[in-house]
Amino acid sequence: MVRDWVRAFIGLGANDGEPLKQIEQAFKCLEALPATVDLQRSKIYRSSPWQAQGPDFINAMAQIDTQLSAPALWVHMQRIEQAAGRIRPYRNAPRTLDLDLIFYGEAVVHSPALVLPHPRWRERAFVLRPLADLAPARIHHSDWQVVAGQAITPV
C-alpha cells in the first residue's frame, strides 16, 4: 500500500560527545530514510540546557516529506539515536543525539509511545527558533513570549 506524502518536522539536539558532528550525521541519516524526500534543514543553533543536564546543546530542525507512517518514522528516529550512541541512564541526561518528532502533517496522536504534535514544542526556544527557519507560519507571536528567557544563538 502506498501512502500519501506527509510533511514532518523533526527536532535535533545533542550535548554529549561531538554534538555538531552528530547533528550533521543525523541529517544525513534522515535524508537516507526510505520513502522520504526533500529534506530541508534549519540553521544550527546553540542553546543552554533547559530542564536538562550537561553542556550547551546544538539544535536544529529537519523538514521532510515522507510516506512512512508516524510510528514507522519514530522507529527509524530511535534507530538513528541508538546508532549515535544514545543511552538513557536517567531523565534529561546529556545526549549524543536526541530526535523529536514535532509534527507529522496535521496528525494528532496520543499513544503510549508517541504524542503528536510534540506536547511541549511551544515551550522550547530550541524548537521554535529552528522551526521558524522552515515554517514560520506554525508559530504564533505569543509563543515567543513563553520562551523569551531561553538563550539560543546561531552557531
* Three-state secondary structure call for residue 47: strand
- Return all residues near 112 (Cβ < 8 A) that are at least 6 apart: none
Cα–Cα distance list, 127 to 29, 78, 131 (Å): 20, 19, 6
Beta bridge partners of 9: 63, 103
Cα separation, 141 vs 155, whole angstroms? 24
* Three-state secondary structure call for residue 119: coil
> Contact at 8 Å (CB) between 85 and 109?
no
Cite the active site residues: 86, 95, 98, 100
Cα separation, 80 vs 87, whole angstroms? 12
